[in-house]
Amino acid sequence: MTEKKEFDVLVIGGGIAGEESALNLANQGYKVILVEKDLSLGGKMIHLSKVFPTLDCAACITTPKVSETSRHPNISIYTYSEVKDINKKAEHSFSATLVEKPRFVTDACTGCQLCEEKCPVVVDDQYQYDLVGRKAIYVPFSIANPRIAAIDIDNCSLCGACEKVCAAGAIDFSMEQKESEIHVKSVIIATGYNLFDPTLIPRYGFGQFKNVITSMQMERQLVPTRPYNNVLRPKDGKVPDNIAYVLCTGSRDESVGNPICSQVCCMYSTKQAQLVMGALPMADVTLYYINIRAFGKGFEEFYQQGKGMGVEFVKGKVGKIEEKNNGDLILRYEDIESGKVMEAEHDMVVLSVGLQANADYSELFDNVKIEQDPFNYVNQVDILTSPSATSIPGVFVAGTASGPMDIPDSILSAGSASAQTAGYLKGGAK
Ligand SMILES: Cc1cc2nc3c(=O)[nH]c(=O)nc-3n(C[C@H](O)[C@H](O)[C@H](O)COP(=O)(O)OP(=O)(O)OC[C@H]3O[C@@H](n4cnc5c(N)ncnc54)[C@H](O)[C@@H]3O)c2cc1C
């Protein structure tokens, strides 16, 4: 480890909150290093279809932001990289180790994807949430930034087909992990959230019944670069005509260790229901919910718009999902108004999975400890008057790393984190 790099601020996480924080500070003249563990910038937002309550195209909003971040002269971006061993040496002085993982493809890559055509290995595509396959060498997705391929070395057969076809000579199997030391004056944690894993509720059948999918898989089916040519049932490719949503899957549920509300599922399910009705005008869509939480600006109107379009809202708690031989699904649920157990048949079920803490950040620090809240999110030590402050002076939090929130609130939170960071750099706020 030889190279030393110096910046004003380290931003960890390249989702919308990390990008917004980095841009705010870079525009004020601060030098920012943005470290993203994935192959591309954009976080979860870049995988969404449209956004509630305006139904604007998610990619159209987020790609200009990604592009502005990636071109800013004051921002140095490290994708497919992580930081570790963050040490606080003094006020305004942190050191850390930057780990750059090997892609086995150099920056000479033009993103032409000829290598993908020749690669013989097919594995699940994590960017299509496993609905379809990808090759062992792959450009993550069409609007990835940077648009550079990577080799998934764990699944690569080392056949060399990619090397033979690459006109840019970008394949380099000798690449190794690189470590360097970085020095910064302040840190922003923007590591985002994890999706709830629905296999933790086996009675819903996710992973056993192919026509039970997650809301993120439905997001992918609704984007223009979707895995199939329409919204389809994964089991048999049939166009569904009676789709159910199970809200609060893994949220407000003590039994799975996540008692809190995920804040976005009521609205993203209402959004998807409207988009599904646009894609499949003959389809019936039913949302099973405990309470509809439409608390934000324009949310109640958006909910009423869904009702007006014919989306059926059933106040019911789904207990179990069973599969019939033809792949259709039987939902057993408690009708909350009558207290009766009811049954309904649907040909596809979408689990509206909740948001969970990504506790990655807690492992990053060495000589200082970052406090977690009771739900494993970054603890906001002064949530009412200084919501971005953490238990470590000079370390701030942005976006869903501090708790579930939607995109506008993540952007507001990033505004607060970057303003507080700028104040700290000037010798003010902690
Ligand atoms: C199905 C679904 C639909 C949604 N639809 C909407 C919608 O229509 N409108 C809306 O407002 N909101 C919606 N949301 C919520 C939206 O996804 C979040 O509000 C937003 O993505 C939060 O951004 P973020 O930057 O905080 O986190 P993320 O998007 O999670 O980004 C965090 C980034 O940090 C990176 N990272 C994590 N750990 C590390 C590490 N250790 N080192 C480096 N990098 C790291 C991750 O790879 C990621 O790129 C939806 C959510 C879901 C699940």
Residue 266 Cβ < 6 Å to ligand 1: no
- 190 Cα–ligand 1 center, Å: 9
Separation of alpha carbons 110 and 340, rounded Å: 60
Ligand 1 atom nearest to CA at 413: 26
- 403 Cα–ligand 1 center, Å: 11
Residue 139 Cβ < 6 Å to ligand 1: no
Superfamily (CATH H level) for 4-101+177-192+358-425: FAD/NAD(P)-binding domain (3.50.50.60)
Q: Retrieve residue 319's tokens.
A: 């207990």
Residue 407 Cβ < 6 Å to ligand 1: yes
Residue 38 Cβ < 6 Å to ligand 1: yes
Residue 249 Cβ < 6 Å to ligand 1: no
Residue 219 Cβ < 6 Å to ligand 1: yes
Residue 410, pLDDT score: 98
The best mutation among 34, 44, 187 to test binding of ligand 1, ranked by most ligand atoms within 8 Å of the C-beta, falls on: 44
- 42 Cα–ligand 1 center, Å: 8
Ligand 1 atom nearest to CA at 355: 53
- 355 Cα–ligand 1 center, Å: 9
Query: Please, what CATH class does the domain formed by 196-355 belong to?
Result: alpha beta
Q: CB atoms < 10 A from the CB of 55, how many?
A: 15
Ligand 1 atom nearest to CA at 268: 5
Q: Which of 387, 352, 358, 335 is nearest to 252 (CA)?
A: 352
pLDDT along the chain (430 residues), means of 10: 83 98 98 98 98 97 97 98 97 97 98 98 97 97 96 97 98 97 98 98 98 98 92 97 98 95 98 97 97 96 97 98 98 96 98 97 95 98 96 98 98 98 85
Residue 4, pLDDT score: 77
The best mutation among 16, 24, 45, 83 to test binding of ligand 1, ranked by most ligand atoms within 8 Å of the C-beta, falls on: 45
Contacting residues for 69 by C-beta, under 8 A, at least 6 apart: 14, 19, 22, 23, 34, 41, 75, 77
- 341 Cα–ligand 1 center, Å: 36
Q: What string of H, E and C letters represents the secondary structure of the chain? A: CCCEEECCEEEECCCHHHHHHHHHHHHCCCCEEEECCCCCCCCCHHHCCEECCCCEEHHHHHHHHHHHHHHCCCEEEECCEEEEEEEEEECCEEEEEEEECCCCECCCCCCCCHHHHHCCCEEECHHHCCCCEEECEECCCCCCCCCCCEECCCCCCCCCHHHHHCCCCCECCCCCCEEEEEEECEEEECCCEEECCHHHCHHHCCCCCCCEEEHHHHHHHHCCCCCCCCCCCCCCCCCCCEEEEEEEECCCEHHHCECCCCCCHHHHHHHHHHHHHHHCCCCEEEEEECCCCCCCCCHHHHHHHHHHHCCEEEEEEEEEEEECCCCCEEEEEEECCCCCEEEEEECEEEEEECEEECHHHHHCECCCCCCECCCCCECCCECCCECCECCCCCEEECHHHHCCCCHHHHHHHHHHHHHHHHHHHCCCCC
Separation of alpha carbons 202 and 32, rounded Å: 44
Residue 370, pLDDT score: 97
Ligand 1 atom nearest to CA at 13: 34
Separation of alpha carbons 426 and 32, rounded Å: 15
- 325 Cα–ligand 1 center, Å: 37
Ligand 1 atom nearest to CA at 18: 25
- 322 Cα–ligand 1 center, Å: 31
Residue 339, pLDDT score: 95
The ranges assigned to domains in the chain are: 4-101+177-192+358-425, 114-165, 196-355
Domains 4-101+177-192+358-425 and 196-355 equal at CATH topology level: yes
The best mutation among 10, 41, 48, 364 to test binding of ligand 1, ranked by most ligand atoms within 8 Å of the C-beta, falls on: 48
Helix 16-27, helix 58-71: angle, nearest 10: 40
Q: Whose alpha carbon is nearest atom 8 of ligand 1?
A: 51
- 54 Cα–ligand 1 center, Å: 19
Residue 211 Cβ < 6 Å to ligand 1: no
